[in-house]
Amino acid sequence: MEKFAWGGIIAAGWPILSVLFAASIVTFAIIYDRWKAFSRIKTNSQSLLENLRSGQDSQKIINWIEKSDQPLAFIAKSILKQSSREDKERLLQRSIQSVVKNLEAGLSMLGTIASVAPFVGLLGTVIGIIKSFQAVSSSSAGGASLVALGIAEALVGTAGGLVVAIPALLGYNYFVNKLRTFTVEWELAGAEIVDLTLKSRNQ
């Protein structure tokens, strides 16, 4: 009997639940993809900066910059290609923006799902309540069971919207804050690389 009841509830609310189910798949796909991308990034730039400050192993540093797939290496490579401070600073900002743009892929969708999913669930709630009132007005016999089904459908819609929205919001906030931390570190490291390369050239 319980399985039949749950089956009836899910079948009644399936138009809304199907949208939420699709949104949940997209949510976890984006979170997994961004988690892999962010986990590959090494944020510690001190070793590179210390080697640049000491002026030792310059060829080793250049080789690492040329071969590494780290964002800081891409940023440093763009800086080293320029000669004047203005060009270096301009390429620094452009390279950071390029890296940030790549890492932001999917985050806007994650934020949209976090914002919209509760309203989709609320729509399911409203539809379920409307069905409950229709059951009351159209039938006295068996009306109570129809009302109960409509209310259950309404609650399932609300719960489904929250279940989708909460991980989407947590993932969005986590990745946005992580990206903000990366950006600050790249800007600081890049500015020091600009100063160090100009200083070493003038010596």
The type of residue at 193 is: I
**Integer Cα distance of 127 and 125 in angstroms:** 5
Indicate the pTM of the whole model: 0.80
Which pLDDT belongs to residue 2? 41
Residue 93 scores a pLDDT above 80: yes
Share of the chain above pLDDT 90, in %: 34
What are the sequence ranges of the domains in the chain? 2-202
For residue range 142-165, list pLDDT tens digits in order: 556 666 666 777 788 888 899 999
For residue range 9-59, list pLDDT tens digits in order: 666 667 888 899 999 999 999 999 999 999 888 766 677 677 666 665 566
SS3 21: helix
Residue 26's Cβ-count burial label (10 Å; 0-12, 13-18, 19+) is: middle
Q: Are 12 and 129 in contact (CB under 8 A)?
A: no
CA angle 120–121–127, rounded 5-degree value: 90
